[in-house]
Structure 1
Amino acid sequence: MSWQPADDPALGDKLACDAIETVIVPRARDLGGFEVRRALPSARRQMVGPFIFWDQMGPAQFAIGKGIDVRPHPHIGLATATYLFDGEIMHRDSLGTEIAISPGALNLMTAGRGIAHSERSAAEARKAPQLLSGIQAWVALPRAHEEGDPAFVHHGADELPLLSDTGVSLRLIAGEAMGARSPVRAPMAMFQADLQLAAGASAPLDALYEERALYTVSGTVEIAGDRFGPGQLLVFRPGDRITLRAADGPARVMLLGGDPMDGPRHIWWNFVSSRPERIEQAKADWSAGRFDAVPNDSEFIPLPEPAKPTVADHP
């Protein structure tokens, strides 16, 4: 998805739980009937592992004939990971990919040296009212892979491990958790999971990765006596084994993290790079039409007005 201006996320209150380093409360922004809550990057925490951008999309209810329409736009130096809770998005890119993503599946698009794509509601989906919600993350690529070939892979819901126990259901999107491994391949150590808990159920978050966080999607979770409602990103300190419990009813959270990145990253619009001059080149390339086009989609998002890049690093 294309970067849109948004207010900086806000920090949460100081907590009693020593395992939690930072609480980030994203601020909602209405993008024309479609609400987005951005948790990363923030002023205090720009990355968690390789995750440099974290958006909760929706939930949005579209009337008949309406839907999401993100026109073709470019990316470099990152991979986009799109995961839906509800609805459907049609992905088209400059590699010629055209595929719909539905709940429980993963679209992983690796930009490398450059790719363009669009995200829209399909014509068939617009024939009825539709609910759309999910998470889109940007994952910074290691320096050795920033200029690699662009690529796209789709993993259906039936390909991603689904682990269940009494009151606990975990879909492992990427990486390792609870003794299982996702088939998703990435050039950096990362993990992402969709965890659903019945009321009163609990689950561990092991210290398999140095950097870990939890995003509360719905319900209330309790960690070491502290409770957290929906729409908060909890960043944990390294090394501690965390146990979370659903309080006051069922809860759904997204788990994310990985190893620290190999240095800071610069962000400008939809571009991520370890080198600011590379972002300048990408800006010039998009303005001059040097990115490959998305087939059968003549629209595009123009380059925004000039602004200073943002440097993303660990605190």
Structure 2
Amino acid sequence: MSFFPGPDPLAGDKPACDAIEHLIVPRTSDIGGLQVRRALPTAKRRLVGPFIFFDRMGPALLRAGEAIDVRPHPHIGLSTVTYLFDGEIKHRDSLGTEMVIRPGDVNLMTAGRGIVHSERSPENQRGHDRSISGLQTWLALPDHKEEIDPIFSHTEERMLPHMSDDGIKARVVIGNFEGSKSPVSVFTDTIYVDLNIAPGKSAPFAAQWEERALYILSGEAIIAGDHFADNQLLVFRAGDEITVTAGPQGCHVMLFGGAALGSSRHIWWNFVSSSKERIEKAKEEWRSGRFDIVPGDEEEFVPLPEG
């Protein structure tokens, strides 16, 4: 018996089609030869559960003379989640962490009251062509956790639950999905699942989460007879059962969402907070050099943007 029970979608099933609240096409930018698509936040939607930021990195081929070199920069009020499909990134932060992120690993950095980090291509990856592909998302912290001490955690790919059955492959990155629970610990009810669906096969996206979305990484997703291409974000209405069917080439998607925060969030540059005053304070702290430095990466930093 499949652990992915659920009926196939019916073409023209209007109630299921209506379950799509927003369709978002990310805006694209080029950062040092790496194409990045930003799906959240947008004018249509600021948050999905705790997710306030959703970036698709690549897929891209970095040439021998190219590298990822994101200089030290600050964060407050959020957790960053870095998750790669291909390539490697070296993370350093002001806690003294130094960690190479590899495909399938979960790099979770909780900024709380403030942290500084850098993201660069590892030394052994420079000087030759290599591919890079992944996601970076931000989880806004609940009100009572916004000012906690910063924390870093890293979970290797082998520690995450994997499920495979009848053309469906899933890795539970955060939360619970179809009876499997990720060991990654976060502060609110969160779902984040890496899902591959073989051509013509179907998988459910249950209605148990208050807010849910699906990002199509590759291939074509079919929902209630409607076809959706890659690099589109679908935000679903609460309470509706969803069935995702793969098109002729199959599809690779990320399911994500969770409980609504229950209060609004302000976002400016790398700062997230329920308070505009707290963001102004963080600006001044960075401008005046009161954030901690990143050991081993002290020579450079990203200046505070103007305006």
TM range (shorter): over 0.9
The one-letter amino acid of 2:95's match is L
2:305 maps to 304
Distance 1:157 1:128 in 2: 25
Fraction of identical pairs, as percent: 58
2:3 maps to none
Deviations 1:156-211 (A, max 9, x none): 00011111111110000001111111111111111101000111111111112110
Cα drift, residue 31 of structure 1 = 1.6
Mapping of 1:48-127 within 5 angstroms? 48-127=48-127
- Give the TM-score normalised by structure 2: 0.93
Distance 1:205 1:271 in 2: 31
1:31 maps to 31
Secondary structure of the residue that 2:137 maps to in structure 1? strand
Q: 1:128 to 1:212 in 2, by over 3 A?
A: same
Count of aligned residue pairs for this structure pair: 293
2:241 maps to 241
Secondary structure of the residue that 2:126 maps to in structure 1? helix
Native 8 Å contact 2:32 2:68 kept in 1: no
Native 8 Å contact 1:143 1:262 kept in 2: no
The one-letter amino acid of 1:108's match is L
Deviations 1:30-59 (A, max 9, x none): 123111100101111110000000000111
Mapping of 1:1-315 within 5 angstroms? 17-297=17-297, 298-306=299-307
Distance 1:108 1:45 in 2: 23
Distance 1:206 1:180 in 2: 14
Cα drift, residue 75 of structure 1 = 0.0
Cα drift, residue 85 of structure 1 = 0.8
Secondary structure of the residue that 1:124 maps to in structure 2? helix
Secondary structure of the residue that 2:169 maps to in structure 1? strand
Secondary structure of the residue that 1:64 maps to in structure 2? coil
Cα drift, residue 128 of structure 1 = 2.4
Distance 2:266 2:193 in 1: 26
Distance 2:286 2:61 in 1: 33
Native 8 Å contact 2:112 2:145 kept in 1: yes
Distance 2:293 2:213 in 1: 36
Compute the RMSD of aligned alpha carbons.
1.3
Distance 1:62 1:34 in 2: 7
Distance 1:228 1:100 in 2: 34
Secondary structure of the residue that 1:127 maps to in structure 2? coil
Distance 1:100 1:172 in 2: 21
Native 8 Å contact 2:71 2:118 kept in 1: yes
- Give the TM-score normalised by structure 1: 0.91
Deviations 1:127-147 (A, max 9, x none): 321101111001100010000
Secondary structure of the residue that 2:260 maps to in structure 1? coil
Distance 1:158 1:20 in 2: 34
Secondary structure of the residue that 1:277 maps to in structure 2? helix
The one-letter amino acid of 1:305's match is E
Distance 2:267 2:286 in 1: 16
Deviations 1:33-91 (A, max 9, x none): 11110010111111000000000011121111421110000000000001011100000
Deviations 1:220-270 (A, max 9, x none): 010000010100000001111111011121210001000001200011100
The one-letter amino acid of 1:84's match is L
Native 8 Å contact 2:33 2:66 kept in 1: no
What stretches of structure 1 of length at least 5 have no aligned partner?
A: 1-14, 307-315
Secondary structure of the residue that 2:199 maps to in structure 1? coil
Regions of 4+ moved over 4 Å? none
